[in-house]
Chain A
Amino acid sequence: MGLTFKDETFRDDFTYTNSPQNIRRFPFPFIEDQYRYSVNIEPHTPGPKGSPFEFPFDIDEHYVSEMRDRALVLEADPLRCQALPHMMTAQWDMLELVMTSLARDYPEHFTLHRDGAAWHWINRPLGIDQKFTFLDASTLPFEPMEYIGRQVQGDFSIQDQRDNQLWMDAGIITSQADWSLDFDVGMNFFEWHGPVPLAHEAGVFERALKFLLNLQVGKPVRRLNWTMTINPRLDTSPENFHKWGSDRMTVTPENVGKKVHLRVEMQGLFRLPRSNAILFSIRGYLMSLEQIVTMPKWGRRLPRVLRSLPPELIEYKGLSRYREMAIAYLSKYDDGAPTSPGGGPD
């Protein structure tokens, strides 16, 4: 695997960058030169070796530093991690799925020994060695979702299923694209997506919900979503909007390539076996425009996509202040040549 974990920051001096090998595996979300709203769900089956789709939960060079940033967020705001009381079984489902996946897929970094309910978890990158009793929360230092959520990249929410609806009744959310778990916990699928424009009218959420209600154990699905973020900041929460919102005004034609980041979410959905809940993983990837254009296909495509966005989406994603500058910067890398289908680099 050869993963070397970087020591970097997502706040203050923002030292985060992608290594050249990590740029190539970035899950560029645009499969054509024009943006269009769609459910775009596909089976979360193993992808090419080394790609972010290879395993159910992708660990990369940013792992250790992202977990450090999550700990800082949770220390300042414990409400970023919440579970309603009936979600304990689902929490254990999540812990089991993540631990067994990581131990199987990254054996040099994670080990899980199981002897009945006596489990022994070893996380070498974070220096954790924990013996505990499965399904006995008193044997872990945190509740199960928070315990494992502090050790795996990506935000997670857990959806209970009842009355032909999904209810967001638990989550550990520290690097969100401007939505509040504390406000949304307990809402149903349509309610927590309430503020999203256009998609309700297009019937996207009704179709997506119908599909997800029938999700089967062992057949996870995934989709890509995206937004843009100024600076490689993980914590773009509404709670802290008054601290990061003004970043949008700091973009200039000189710094746009460094400051503006494409933020891609690989969203995975897993049916959980005991609780029948659905685990939703929101695995975020950040890349500056100047790193994106190192892949010529992406440099050609991104300005074309940004030009094609409907106004409601520009507003909703908070791009209004700097989209034109981003297009101007990126256009220098668009020679007008046709691009190949799909999101991957040529």
Chain B
Amino acid sequence: MTLSTIKSRPIYPGLTPDLNARSNIVVSDKAGADAVAELLSRGDENFAKRTTVILADALADKDRQAIARELAPATIEFHATLADGIARLRQLLDGAPMGLRLYAAGSETLIGFVVQAGGDFSIDHLSIRTEHRGTLMRRVQCVHCKTFIENVTTNPVKCTHCGITLLVRDHYSRRLAAFQGVCIDAEIPGDIPPTEALYQ
């Protein structure tokens, strides 16, 4: 995670178990699974038994089995895509009782979607325990045409809809779960600095 002077840029303090919660939901991707294992190891067996892990990633069978072994005795649900995992999270939150603690581990995009979903169910963003693992790829909103550009690895990046070359700022919107992209050559059209692979 890069440090930023921009105060809207989220920080992810890392996962610690809340032993007082009556139930836990953890959303993770493959890279975040190690952080989830560490979280479970820091809790007791009852903590793991009260925990449902939504693992949202495309996984080979052997990876799936290895992760299932590693995270037992937590309940694990595998979803092939992040979108499916977040849809399932929203379903669980819709019927969730009091005393639930929410966790997210993995890419910034995954964490962003979890925090966004939590917000829609009135869960304060600071109460969600988060740990960034794996890719630095960003979700960026083009401020001009409002398109969301997924899996951005470079700065600048071309908007996939309007084609404007965007400066990716550290300014971040929790509501949109996205960083802001603004036209980089507005002053002198075509005057575009070299593309840097900043978010691998």
Contacts and interface: CB of A to CB of B under 8 A. Distances in A.
Given A200-B5, A241-B186, A246-B189, A186 B174 contact: yes
A83 B189 CA distance: 35
Interface residues of A, number: 28
A242 B189 CA distance: 9
A242 B183 CA distance: 6
Given A79-B146, A193-B7, A241-B182, A183 B173 contact: yes
Contacts of B50: none
Nearest to B165: A242
B164 interface: yes
5 pairs of A and B residues whose beta carbons are closest in the complex: A245-B186, A194-B8, A191-B8, A242-B183, A186-B175
A254 B143 CA distance: 34
A195 interface: yes
A97 interface: no
Interface of B: 5-9, 124, 141, 143-144, 146, 164, 169-176, 180, 182-183, 186-189
A35 interface: no
Interface string A316-328: 0000010000000
Given A183-B176, A241-B186, A248-B187, A194 B6 contact: yes
A184 B173 CA distance: 7
B7 A194 contact: yes
Contact of A239 (B144, B169, B174): B144
Interface string A181-195: 011111100111111
A190 B7 contact: yes
Contact of A249 (B170, B172, B188): B188
Given A183-B143, A246-B188, A238 B173 contact: no
Given A79-B146, A194-B171, A180 B7 contact: no
B171 A195 contact: yes
